[in-house]
Structure 1
């Protein structure tokens, strides 16, 4: 039986996933519950406790030495709190304290979900072997994280690298974050679809108006659908180039549902990068699709915990959760 295990939680607006992960990134046990996102905060927490309880029911739990959490944000790792936009019952919610109590005192590391994805891609995925990387999730929103000097760089609150809210259009549409012209306001899946619909694109007989449907239309040559993805790619390129200019990353890894559009997104993105990443020290910047898929949140949360608590001598508590 592996002797160096951490528990990992991946918390989002639709599901709360949990796993036991070893120090080679292997998932040994997993479970999940739907997120009761419209309920009060304690009801959401009970779903988290149910996930932890199922993980704790097996013999491997005796070897768990820490818990890693990747959560939808905003998060505040310094305070141990979370305020996910899509979980209204959690505002400044003391998640670290509650998870520590539920696991009878195990150390807990909290990062945003974009940072968790970055940790996973750097450890096991497309950013492996790169000392300076930006990893991004482009989906319902746009998030990200940074690897600098070979190490994960979550920042004081766990939100560093949140590229979705870099402004790339000074006079652009208002963003729910309070700014204007953010990358997310242009490149997220819902905004790709909104822009295509506003410009006259119409869905097929199935009525699907998702970004995936826009991507399918673009792949078939629809000029309006293609233009919407080109605009998203331009916004992503501007944000990536700005990040590269600031901190000299050499790879940008892109995952999430929008990245599944493939060349509909990546081809115009690479073209746009040639315009935006113009300085000599960022011209060699490469863009790659993410490799970790739906396991990125769990593996990344585990990686963050292993990074934060590297000493195998941390006491291992053998009590079951809530037992």
Structure 2
């Protein structure tokens, strides 16, 4: 039954969580936005940055007034004044870089996807638990106010029995972009597809049946387009498409017996959504400023809260949610014949 109003986002005050001393591994595009968001919205401290290039680390440190810059991750991890590390390297470096962080005894927040596949992700989780450390995937959309309201609506059964999820995520990239590089685990699945599969798992759990078809990008070095049909245990069907060939609406629709929820594109970004009763009698609208990556700080605040509470699993993004997403993507890739270089060894 449609509620009289939408739930209020359950936001944690950034000043109420412990101030962690953060290191950054991988001073790239997303790391810049992560640091900017933390600086503008939190008291979290960025104390060091590491890159395979000392010069690049130094440039990043100068730009963001970070006191420590290192050309080797191990040098940074030797710092005593370091509580947590944000890993923002290319996808196929997440696992080895996170291993170093865990072995150094630091909590680790890893850009999505946590690893290339479910096997690597499970290993990171086991190693972190053995050392009593928090290892969390930075699936940033899960921590947004918009997604919290969505979670509350699903938990309350506001949509009734959910039968259909339809979503797409397509972007145009120039051929020199890293997403076309097989040496960096290129193709759309780990980048764009993570959001699609993650949403489907969030709404209805791990699918019990997966059907996928793929199409290679020009030159055949990476996958260029994948379409997926999932059947979930609750009977929901998810129809998903991701492509590197062109821009698509990047919208999502979650249709239930009692109401339909529509997230305009990009569905995983901050922004509005509508919830409309199936008989058309009422529509509720969630408003949120479209400030995109300015809201990255929500994941860091939740991470710091987990550390302060002594939690080694995030209640918002537990390891099992990551494993369910990655194992589903593993099956998609198996069906379309995509294996990353590291998986061939």
* Fold in common (TM above 0.5): no
For Structure 1 versus Structure 2, the TM-score category normalised by the shorter chain is 0.3 to 0.5
TM-score by length of 1: 0.38
